[in-house]
């Protein structure tokens, strides 16, 4: 790969708008790095840009609608608009035909030369829209053959090859928290999920590369990194025999990076979460004792139709194993209700699990068909009114149980990372059991002798009250309950 150059004469201005998950946020910062290296100046506002790049989400119907709405709003600014990301990769020229407001619809294979493609867009040169394909077919079936092959395939989040010590990433905000991608793609074949078809097969990043990026993030003011992928428990499966413990060996290395005070792991598959990994996350200093476990359901019958593994009892045993190491560990999940064929007995089984698991946060989603998935062809589809009733029923239970879980933390001591500290407002942050955006937060009650707090500070606090899943906390002496 040639060395990056910047031609001041050709500098253009571009803004990036990101939708969807933390993985997309990493991809946008990688794209920002590519564009900066290609001579583009980053603008904070679409109105100040020559081109607005929208990093779309294509996971569920509501996310697709948000992506389209954002593209239309960007077009209303009068600037050139380019769609990238999952929705653009998944639908490509079909999206381009239905959305003429977008000046180009580009897939992952365009990322390496995105700066040049944006030059074409500004110059009025036609850029052919992406033609979708099944990205699982781009890499070998055998995981151990993929690391070398992946160097010739565009895999978002794996752009460091050929750039030497430089990290090809530009921060798009000043948050003390940043996502750090450890892998891309997924080899699972969940019957309701289309992600592997457009994200491709699972590929791990090399540990040294990940650690180097964590060091760069620390140098840029990051205090907490959270590790993201489509399936973090598969990390290292493509390293061969030595890869089985790759994640539990990587986590302590990241915790030792100067400046990084907390490491958080996300996107764990319960059936692949091994005891060694549980211990590493729950007991390693500097690692949040936090478990983002994708249970999805707990009825064995529903799980088998989902092409997943586990049961209420095995999931409860995993929760118990976690709490044997760390009684106050945070555990969160998402569940899908109304899956084709789901019975009242299945819902009752899910309720049994939720009542026994004492989870800190639960996302509840009603099933809906996704294009091209196996579940789209299943019989036993439930009426929309039945799905909505079950969503409401499980949501009400979850609200009650997670509020109780937060109440149980009253009297505990937590380390809070400050993320908002405005004059006249109570500082807001997160404890170890609270991930960015998806979980609750901590609201600090300031005391007279408390020094001024800044974003990025860690504060030892005592939990004095709760509001739903949020905690009300009061700063405590640093040595409190260590």
The dihedral through the CA atoms of 263, 267, 270, 274 has a sign that is negative
CB atoms within 10 A of CB 185: 28
- Domains identified in the chain and CATH numbers: 13-130 (3.40.50.12160), 139-408 (3.80.30.20), 412-475 (2.40.50.140)
Q: What is the mean predicted confidence (pLDDT) over 157-175? A: 74
Token duo for residue 82: 């380019």
Across the beta sheet with 177-181, the strand order is 177-181, 224-228, 262-265
The pLDDT score that the predictor gives to residue 2 is 41
186 known ligand binder:
yes
> CA-CA distance, 330 to 318, in Å (whole number)?
13
Token duo for residue 339: 């899956």
The pLDDT score that the predictor gives to residue 438 is 84
Torsion of CA 210, 213, 215, 216, to 10 degrees: 180
Least confident residue range of 38-42, 278-282, 308-312, 420-424: 420-424
Higher pLDDT residue, 321 or 425? 321
pLDDT interval class at 9 (50, 70, 90): very low
**Which of 187, 197, 174, 186 shows the shortest CA–CA distance to 228?**
186
Using an 8 Å Cβ cutoff, are 378 and 305 in contact? yes
Burial class of residue 182 in the structure, from the number of CB atoms within 10 Å of its CB (0-12 exposed, 13-18 middle, 19+ buried): buried
Token duo for residue 152: 């010739």
Q: In the 3-class helix/strand/coil scheme, how is 271-336 assigned residue by residue? A: HHCCHHHHHHHHHCCCECCEEEECCECCCHHHHHHCCCCCCHHHHHHHHHHHHHHCCCCEEEEEEE
> Could you say which DSSP state residue 44 is in?
S
DSSP H/E element including 351: helix 344-357
Average pLDDT, the chain: 91
> CA-CA distance, 185 to 309, in Å (whole number)?
20
The pLDDT score that the predictor gives to residue 8 is 45
Q: What is the pLDDT of residues 231-257, one digit of tens each?
A: 999 999 999 887 889 999 999 999 999
> Could you say which DSSP state residue 268 is in?
B
Q: How far is CA 270 from CA 232, 297, 330, 394, in A?
A: 11, 11, 15, 21
Is residue 273 pLDDT above 60, yes or no?
yes
Q: How large a percentage of the chain has pLDDT more than 70? A: 94
Is residue 376 pLDDT above 90, yes or no?
yes
Least confident residue range of 7-11, 258-262, 444-448: 7-11
461 known ligand binder:
no
CB atoms within 10 A of CB 371: 12
The pLDDT score that the predictor gives to residue 5 is 45
Using an 8 Å Cβ cutoff, are 76 and 84 in contact? no
Q: How far is CA 200 from CA 139, 163, 188, 230, 337, in A?
A: 8, 23, 11, 10, 27
Three-state DSSP state, 227: strand
319 known ligand binder:
no
Is residue 3 pLDDT above 80, yes or no?
no
The pLDDT score that the predictor gives to residue 137 is 87
DSSP for 379-418, please give it. S-PPPHHHHHHHHHHHHHHHHHHHHHHHHHTTT-EEEEEE
pLDDT interval class at 296 (50, 70, 90): very high
The pLDDT score that the predictor gives to residue 156 is 77
Q: Is beta strand 12-18 parallel, antiparallel or unpaired with respect to 470-475?
A: unpaired
> CA-CA distance, 198 to 89, in Å (whole number)?
6
Is residue 278 pLDDT above 70, yes or no?
yes
Using an 8 Å Cβ cutoff, are 420 and 427 in contact? yes
pLDDT interval class at 165 (50, 70, 90): low
86 known ligand binder:
yes
Q: How far is CA 187 from CA 200, 294, 377, in A?
A: 8, 15, 21
Using an 8 Å Cβ cutoff, are 11 and 39 in contact? yes
Q: What is the mean predicted confidence (pLDDT) over 294-318? A: 97
The pLDDT score that the predictor gives to residue 426 is 86
Using an 8 Å Cβ cutoff, are 29 and 170 in contact? yes
Using an 8 Å Cβ cutoff, are 172 and 29 in contact? yes
Q: What is the pLDDT of residues 444-474, one digit of tens each?
A: 987 666 667 899 999 999 999 999 999 999 9
First and final CA of the chain: distance in angstroms?
A: 50
Burial class of residue 202 in the structure, from the number of CB atoms within 10 Å of its CB (0-12 exposed, 13-18 middle, 19+ buried): buried
């Amino acid at each position: 790969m040639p060395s990056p150059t910047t031609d001041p004469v050709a500098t253009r201005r571009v803004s990036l708008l990101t939708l969807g998950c933390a993985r997309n946020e990493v991809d946008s910062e990688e794209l920002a790095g590519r564009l900066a290296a290609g001579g583009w100046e980053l603008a904070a506002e679409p109105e100040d840009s020559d081109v607005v790049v929208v990093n779309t989400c294509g996971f569920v119907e509501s996310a697709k609608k948000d992506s389209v709405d954002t593209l239309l709003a960007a077009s209303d600014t009068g600037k050139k608009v380019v769609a990238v990301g999952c929705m653009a990769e998944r639908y490509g020229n079909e999206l381009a035909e239905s959305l003429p407001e977008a000046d180009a619809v580009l897939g992952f294979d365009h990322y390496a030369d995105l700066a040049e493609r944006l030059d074409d867009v500004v110059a009025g040169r036609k850029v052919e829209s992406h033609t979708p394909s099944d990205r699982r077919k781009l890499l070998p079936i055998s995981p151990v053959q993929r690391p070398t092959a992946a160097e010739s395939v565009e895999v978002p989040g794996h752009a460091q090859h050929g750039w030497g010590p430089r990290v090809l990433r530009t921060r798009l905000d000043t948050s003390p928290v940043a996502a750090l991608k450890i892998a891309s793609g997924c080899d699972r074949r969940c019957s309701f999920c289309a992600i592997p078809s457009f994200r491709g097969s699972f590929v791990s990043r090399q540990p040294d590369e990940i650690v180097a990026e964590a060091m760069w993030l620390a140098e840029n003011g990051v205090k907490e990194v959270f590790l993201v992928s489509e399936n973090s428990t598969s990390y290292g499966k493509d390293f061969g025999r030595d890869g089985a413990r790759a994640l539990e060996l990587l986590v302590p290395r990241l915790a030792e990076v100067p400046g990084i005070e907390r490491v958080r792991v996300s996107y764990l598959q319960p059936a692949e979460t091994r005891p060694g990994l549980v211990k590493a996350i729950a007991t390693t200093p500097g690692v949040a004792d936090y478990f983002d476990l994708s249970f999805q359901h707990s009825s064995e019958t529903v799980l088998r139709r989902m092409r997943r593994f586990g049961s209420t009892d095995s999931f409860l045993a995993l929760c118990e194993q976690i709490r044997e190491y760390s009684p106050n560990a945070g555990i969160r999940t998402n569940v899908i209700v109304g899956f084709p064929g789901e019975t009242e007995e299945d819902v009752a089984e899910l309720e049994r699990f939720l009542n026994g698991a004492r989870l800190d946060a639960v996302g509840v989603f009603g099933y809906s068909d996704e294009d091209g998935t196996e579940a789209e062809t299943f019989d036993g589809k439930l009426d929309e009114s039945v799905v909505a009733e079950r969503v409401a029923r499980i949501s009400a239970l979850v609200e009650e149980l997670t509020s109780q879980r937060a109440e149980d933390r009253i009297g505990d001591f937590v380390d809070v990372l400050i993320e908002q500290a405005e004059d006249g407002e109570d500082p807001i942050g997160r404890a170890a059991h609270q991930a960015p955006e998806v979980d609750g937060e901590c609201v600090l009650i300031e005391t007279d002798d408390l020094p001024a707090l800044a974003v990025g500070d860690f504060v030892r606090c005592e939990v004095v009250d709760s509001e739903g899943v949020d905690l009300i906390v009061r700063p405590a002496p640093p040595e409190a309950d260590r």
